[in-house]
Amino acid sequence: MVRPSRAGPTSEDPLDYLFGLQRFGVKLGLDNMRMLNAALHNPDRRFKSLLIAGTNGKGSVAAMAERGLRAAGYATGLYTSPHLIALNERFAVDGRPVDDAALGTEAAAVRETVERLCASGRLGHPPTFFEATTALALSIFRRRRVDVAVLEVGMGGRFDATNVVHAVAAGIPSIDLDHQQHLGATLAEIAFEKAGVIEPGTVVVSGEEKTEASAVLRREAAARGARFVDARDEAAVRWREDGGLIRVDELKTPIGRYGPLTLALRGRHQLRNATVAVRLLEELAPAGIRVPRAAIERALADVRWRGRLELVDCGPGRRMLLDPAHNVAAAAALASYVARIYPSGLPFVFGTLADKDATGMLDALGGAVNRVICTPIASPRARPVEALVAAARASRCDVPIEAAPSPVAALASAWRTGPVAGVAGSVYLVGEVLRALDCGRLAPLAPAFPEARE
C-alpha cells in the first residue's frame, strides 16, 4: 500500500488522513502524544516494550532484537520508520507487516480519536504524522496481543513520540551528528537527547565508542537510576569476512557464547550492532523476558532488514548495492565495505533530502565512488537535482558527475560503467528503487555485462 501525501484532515479515507498530517512537519514534545495515548486507553500498558534509539544502527538492532524475541516464542510487534515502499512495513506483528484491512481499521480509530480530542479542545492541534503512526502502532500491538514490542525511536529520544511508553530496556548502538537543527550541534548535545529514552530502574545497552557521547549516556543512566551496560565490556568476537559476509566463529559475552554463524546483515559495522542486540536480549531476564542461546543466534543469522547494505540481483549481469547512508558516519561505513569488496569503486546513484549534508556524505564515500549520478527523489523534502549536482561537482572533482531524470534512468546510466551500481543518500531513494524493482521496471532486456559475483 503506497499512498501519496495529498489529503488533509477532512479526507474520508483514514490513510489519506494519516498522510495528510505530514504537513505539520516535526514538532518535538510529548504533550500531544500523551493526550492521544491516554484517549486510546494507553495501549502500551498491555505489553512490554523495548526502545532502540541512537543515530546509525538502531533499525538493525531493532530488527535483530525482534527476531530473537520471536525465535524465543514471544508474540512480537516491531515499529520502525520510515518505510521503504508501503506504510504497512512500519507495523510488523510476528515478523509480518499488518495487512491493509487491519491498518485501515486502526487508522480510522486513531482519526476518530484525534477529531474528538480536537473538537473538545483537549488537543490544541492535530498530531504530526509520526505521532499518529506511533499511536497507530501501539493500538495495533494491543489489538494483536503482542507480548513484547520493539520500537525504533524516530529522530531524537527525549521528546520523541515513542518515549510515551515505559520501556523495560533501551538499546543505543551509536551516536553521531545528524538532525543538528533539532537535536544540537555537538555529540554531547545529541547524546543527551538520545538518552531521554532511559527509564529509572531499567537497563540501557550501548555500543557507542566515542568518549564524549558515551560519557553523557553513562551520566544520564546514573542520574536516572538505570543500569548502564557497555556492550563492549567483557565481550569478544572472533570473525572473518568472506565475500562481503561476516562469519562469526564465536561471540563471547559475560553471559553467553554464540556461534559459529554468519551475520545476515552485511558490513563490519554490523558486528557492533549484533553485540548490542545480543547484550540487550541477554539483559531482559530481570524483566521476565528470557531469550535462550538458540534464539539469540537466530536473531543474528536469520534477521531481515531490507535495503540496508543489501546486494540485489536485477537480472543477468546487473546488481545493486543498496544502503540509505543518509549521514556522514553511515556513508563512511558504506565506503569501508565497498573499498574491501569492490576496490576499484562503484558508480553511485545518489539523492538526498534538503536538510542532509550531501557534501559530507560524498566526501565520506571517498574512493568507493568512481562516478556519481545524481537523481531527484519523489519527496517534497528532497534536494533539487540541480543543487545536488552543484554540490557534488564542488566536492568531488575527482570523479565524473552527471544528472538523471529519475532513479531508474540513473541506474541505467550506472550500469553502463559496470555490473554493480551503488545506491545511497536516502531511505526514500532506496525505497523508490526497490519499488521499481518490485514493479519489474529494472529488469534488463539483455545482459549488460557477464554475470558478476563478489
The CB density around residue 206, as the number of other CB atoms within 10 Å, is: 30
CATH of the domain at 29: 3.40.1190.10
pLDDT score for 180: 60
In this structure, the answer to whether residues 288 and 353 fall within a common structural domain is no
pLDDT band for 258, please (50, 70, 90 cuts): very high
In this structure, the answer to whether residues 196 and 316 fall within a common structural domain is no
In this structure, the answer to whether residues 123 and 183 fall within a common structural domain is yes
The model's pLDDT over 307-325, given as tens digits with 9 standing for 90+, comes to 999 999 988 889 999 999 9
In this structure, the answer to whether residues 234 and 256 fall within a common structural domain is yes
pLDDT score for 181: 59
Q: By C-alpha distance, which of 370, 263, 409, 312 is closest to 84?
A: 312
pLDDT band for 156, please (50, 70, 90 cuts): confident
Set of cell numbers at residue 242: 568472506
Q: Pick from 255, 271, 301: which residue ends a domain?
A: 301
Q: Distance of CA 216 to CAs 169, 209, 257, 263, Å?
A: 18, 12, 30, 30
When pLDDT is averaged across residues 96-111 and rounded to a whole number, the result is 93
The model's pLDDT over 160-210, given as tens digits with 9 standing for 90+, comes to 899 999 999 999 999 886 656 566 678 888 998 899 999 999 999 999 988
Q: Distance of CA 341 to CAs 85, 268, 327, Å?
A: 28, 12, 21
In this structure, the answer to whether residues 257 and 316 fall within a common structural domain is no
pLDDT band for 445, please (50, 70, 90 cuts): very low
- Distance, in Å, from the CA atom of 326 to the CA atom of 424, rounded to the nearest integer, reads 7
Which is higher by pLDDT, 27 or 361?
361
Q: What is the domain extent for residue 289?
A: 14-301
In this structure, the answer to whether residues 193 and 79 fall within a common structural domain is yes
pLDDT score for 24: 66
The model's pLDDT over 104-118, given as tens digits with 9 standing for 90+, comes to 999 999 999 999 999
When pLDDT is averaged across residues 101-105 and rounded to a whole number, the result is 93
359 in any annotated domain: yes
In this structure, the answer to whether residues 322 and 296 fall within a common structural domain is no
Q: How many domains does the chain have?
A: 2
Q: Pick from 247, 276, 301: which residue ends a domain?
A: 301
Residue 22 has pLDDT above 80, yes or no: no
- Distance, in Å, from the CA atom of 70 to the CA atom of 439, rounded to the nearest integer, reads 31
Residues in the chain: 454
- Furthest CA-CA distance within the chain: 66
219 in any annotated domain: yes
| Percentage, residues of the chain above pLDDT 70 | 92
pLDDT score for 159: 87
Residue 442 has pLDDT above 80, yes or no: no
CATH of the domain at 337: 3.90.190.20
